[in-house]
């Protein structure tokens, strides 16, 4: 029987994402000037205020005020009328040194013996239903909001947009789990106050979203996906009415509250640990990236159409306590999921330091992950510049989204004869 499945995304101006981006900007600056930094940084944003808290062990010192303000202004909170602006908000730092009780289980004499920064389970997922091996509903949701942000910055076709926004896409699937059509699209976007009455304002916003935004999004998608857009789609655009008050003034934002948006939109599974603000010794982050890397390469190598990979750790222990694979009955290699998991353990070194080295995670690569998803983006090499009144100016060439590289496909095909 056909069924519906829904995923959502939130914009870079959503208060929780503002918090994530601040936490990851601070992490990047710590790693840029001291790659061995241990960081767990949390951010709270609300009307006119930013509060930083967490634990850090580092040989560098940062001008956190300036970093925070730059992030907020870049997102687009630059006007006093938003009740939250990079130039005028208060910034309170409560960051303190990391507990030695935690650190003693992580740092060892030999880096290869580095223990996991915490216990827990992490998941990676991949599916063949999109070119980037991501769930389709989430992929479209991300594209809707990324494109909406582009339109906001251009300020031409839609000039009234403000930074806060959410999107949601519902797909109809067939009995054989093939996407058939888009059933519903929800977009809620913050906007300037209108001179027109609320009804005319809402008509204008709905018309612009359907006639300007959606065609731009559709043009980015492959032809097979474009066919899922039809004239029967149900649109809910700002369904509660006007949305002038938004961002951290409308809702308090916290680091780590959008973990499903950050990963797979409800597909697969999630271990519960957030990513942003954590250095790669925290396996919540690094092992989740490594599990995605495994799952994506397995699907790309033809091992299965859909794969979930789970890895688990004990705090301070080097080797993972388990590796689990679920192919949802789509395996193509004539092996049980348990046997596939055993081969995965042979192919991929899942010790925390090995993950850091393989994916080049002790680099300032994290701000770019903090909006529109940590998974499914194109791996690229860029040059980033960091300036500090305490450390001077440095340029670093870094690889972003290394866990999205299809660099193990040939080895997997050899191992699985796929």
Report how far apart, in Å, the C-alpha atoms of 248 and of each of 78, 89, 216 are. Answer: 13, 11, 28
List all residues 6 or more positions away from 306 whose beta carbon is below 8 Å from its beta carbon.
126, 127, 128, 299, 327, 328, 330
Cβ(22)–Cβ(86) under 8 Å? no
d(C-alpha 243, C-alpha 13), whole Å? 13
Residues at the binding site are: 14, 16, 42, 55, 98, 164-166, 242-243, 251, 257-258, 274, 278, 282
Q: Of 15, 19, 8, nearest to 275 (Cα)? A: 19
Pairing of strands 322-326, 306-313: antiparallel
Residues at the binding site for Mg(2+) are: 16
Residues at the binding site for ATP are: 14, 164-166, 242-243, 251, 257-258, 274, 278
Cβ(200)–Cβ(194) under 8 Å? yes
Residues at the binding site for L-methionine are: 55, 98, 251, 282
Pairing of strands 179-191, 38-46: unpaired
Residues at the binding site for K(+) are: 42
Query: For tokens 């640990």, what's the residue?
Result: 273
- Torsion, Cα 46 373 213 161, to 10 degrees, reads 20
Cβ(135)–Cβ(126) under 8 Å? no
Give me the sign of the Cα torsion angle 343, 348, 351, 352.
Answer: negative
d(C-alpha 415, C-alpha 302), whole Å? 12
Q: Of 119, 68, 55, 91, nearest to 279 (Cα)? A: 55
List all residues 6 or more positions away from 203 whose beta carbon is below 8 Å from its beta carbon.
none
Find the helix or strand (DSSP H, E) in which 223 lies: helix 223-226
State the DSSP string of 78-98: --GGGT--TTT-EEEEEEEEP
d(C-alpha 259, C-alpha 273), whole Å? 8
């Amino acid at each position: 029987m056909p069924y519906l499945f829904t995923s959502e995304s939130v914009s870079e101006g959503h208060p929780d994402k503002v918090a994530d981006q601040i936490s990851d900007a601070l992490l990047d600056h710590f790693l840029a000037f001291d790659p061995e930094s241990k960081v767990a940084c949390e951010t709270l944003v609300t009307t006119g205020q930013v509060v930083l808290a967490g634990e850090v062990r580092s040989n560098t010192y940062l001008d956190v005020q300036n970093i925070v303000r730059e992030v907020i202004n870049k997102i687009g909170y630059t006007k006093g009328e938003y009740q939250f602006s990079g130039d005028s908000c208060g910034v309170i730092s409560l960051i303190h040194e990391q507990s030695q009780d935690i650190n003693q289980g992580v740092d060892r004499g030999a880096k290869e013996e580095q223990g996991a920064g915490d216990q827990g389970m992490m998941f990676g997922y991949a599916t063949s239903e999109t070119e980037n091996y991501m769930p389709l509903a989430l992929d479209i949701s991300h594209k809707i909001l990324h494109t909406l942000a582009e339109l906001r910055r251009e300020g031409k076709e839609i000039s009234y947009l403000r930074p806060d926004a959410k999107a949601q896409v519902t797909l109809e699937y067939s009995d054989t789990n093939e996407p058939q059509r888009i059933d519903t699209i929800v977009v809620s976007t913050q906007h300037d106050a209108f001179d027109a009455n609320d009804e005319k304002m809402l008509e204008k916003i709905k018309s612009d979203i359907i006639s300007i935004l959606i065609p731009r999004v559709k043009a980015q998608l492959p032809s097979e996906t474009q066919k899922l857009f039809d004239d029967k789609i149900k649109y809910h655009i700002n369904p509660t009415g006007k949305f002038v008050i938004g961002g951290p003034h409308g809702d308090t934002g916290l680091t780590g509250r959008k973990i499903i948006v950050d990963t797979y939109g409800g597909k697969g599974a999630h271990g519960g640990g957030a990513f942003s603000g954590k250095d790669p010794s925290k396996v919540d982050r690094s092992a989740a990236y490594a599990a995605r890397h495994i799952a994506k390469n397995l699907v790309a190598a033809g091992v299965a159409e859909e794969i979930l990979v789970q890895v688990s750790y004990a705090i301070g222990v080097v080797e993972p306590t388990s590796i689990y694979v679920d192919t949802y009955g789509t395996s193509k290699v004539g092996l049980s999921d348990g046997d596939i998991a055993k081969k995965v353990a042979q192919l991929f070194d899942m010790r925390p330091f090995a993950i850091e080295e393989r994916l080049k995670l002790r680099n300032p690569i994290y701000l770019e992950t903090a909006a529109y998803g940590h998974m499914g983006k194109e791996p690229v090499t860029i040059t980033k510049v960091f300036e500090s009144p305490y450390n001077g100016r440095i340029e670093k060439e870094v690889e972003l989204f290394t866990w999205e590289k299809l660099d193990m496909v040939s080895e997997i095909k050899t191992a699985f004869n796929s």
